[in-house]
Amino acid sequence: MTRPGRLTDEAAQLLTLSTEPWLSCEDCFRLMDTFVEAVLVDPDTTAFPQMRVHLRGCGACAEEAASLLDLLVEDRGSH
Amino acid sequence: MIPTSRETDLEEPVDWPTALLVPGARQDDALRRLHLLMVRAARHQVWRMRELLEGHGPELYDELANSAADEAVTVLLAKLDTFEGRSRFTTWAYKFAILQAATEVRRQSWAQREVTLEDWETWCDPRPEPEQEAEASDLASAVERAMAVALTPYQRKIAVALLVDQVPIDVLAERLGTTRGALYKALHEARGRLRAHLVAHGYLAADGRRGGSR
């Protein structure tokens, strides 16, 4: 585990990231399918701003949303 | 290789919830198709994260994907009444398998690793000498010191484990007997306290951007 005095700039950025407006992991999961479909239609969509904030602050949710998007893109390509 | 949609024959029923709920041959077919969907999504997720499974190969990938798919089907069926039709059913279904598979991979990759929660407060000086203050003008040092004074011991331990030691949030939740949501909430509050402290001491601007008065 990390020892004192070794806080990297990257860790400092993550620790001080603004995660307002608040969105829980549970609500992120609830919205994930509609959010990803909106992104699929328009990657620059401004809908779901709270989702974007949450995904910047939660690596696990971000991975899962990126994976879902990737899977939908793959599906689209195979049909 | 991960099976494609064509290979798994994923032509979907028009009304998935009804097909899954009403007993009969149609339900059997819908359940079979749903399971194929979940296996496909779980395999997709396991393969995305396979670098975390160093030393293992396709046999374990399949084992994890199948286990995740089975569990995801159970969870989905229990939550079928929450499907509101705001997305395609398949998109809604995929997320259950992806969540389950990602959790299984993270759990497997940390299965042999210990998670120790250290409290930085024991080695961060909350009141540095003037020389230390000068040295601590960069954000990283300021954050270290802010952690000592602005966070509770629990918040410090969670923040360090998740963001410094990079323990996956679901692994940490499992080890602590809590939930991913509860840990994220604790992290959210810790971040808010750190930001407020850093703004008050001039390390962040009032709008929270880097580059306060120092």
Q: How do residues A61-70 score in pLDDT, each as one tens digit?
A: 999 999 999 9
Chain A residues in contact with B116 by the CB 8 A cut-off are: 1
- The upper half-sphere exposure of residue B84, i.e. CA atoms within 13 Å in the direction of its Cβ, equals 5
Interface mutation vs chain B, best among A15, A19, A51, A54, most B CBs within 10 Å: A15
Q: Return d(Cα B44, Cα B214) in angstroms, integer.
A: 47
List pLDDT tens digits, range A20-56: 999 999 999 999 999 999 999 999 999 999 999 999 9
Structure tokens at B126: 């909350």
pLDDT score, position A73: 97
The H or E element containing residue A73 is helix A59-78
Residues 6-65 of B with CB under 8 A from A: 6, 41, 44-45, 48-49
Asked if ipTM goes beyond 0.90, one says: yes
Q: What is the pLDDT of residue B193?
A: 98
CA A53/CA A49 separation, integer angstroms: 6
Are residues A29 and B99, on separate chains, in Cβ contact within 8 Å? yes
Q: For residue A79, what pLDDT band results from cuts at 50, 70 and 90?
A: low
State the pLDDT at residue B2.
Answer: 54
Torsion-angle region of A24 (φ positive above 0: left; ψ -120 to 50: alpha; else: beta): beta
Quote the pLDDT of residue B81: 96
| Domain ranges in chain B with CATH number 1.10.10.10 | 120-200
- Kindly give the confidence (pLDDT) of every residue in chain B, 214 residues in length, as a single tens digit, with 9 standing for 90 and above: 454 544 445 556 779 999 999 999 999 999 999 999 999 999 999 999 999 999 999 999 999 999 999 999 999 999 999 999 999 999 999 999 999 999 999 999 999 999 988 776 654 555 554 555 554 458 888 999 999 999 999 999 999 999 999 999 999 999 999 999 999 999 999 999 999 999 999 999 877 666 666 6
Residue in A4, A9, A64 nearest the CB of B98? A64
pLDDT of residue B65: 98
pTM, entire model: 0.88
B192 CB neighbours in chain A (<8 A) are 19-20
What is the CATH topology of the domain spanning B120-200? Arc Repressor Mutant, subunit A (1.10.10)
Q: What is the pLDDT of residue B6?
A: 47
DSSP secondary structure of B43-111: HHHHHHTGGGGTT--HHHHHHHHHHHHHHHHHHHHHTGGG--SSS-HHHHHHHHHHHHHHHHHHHHHTT
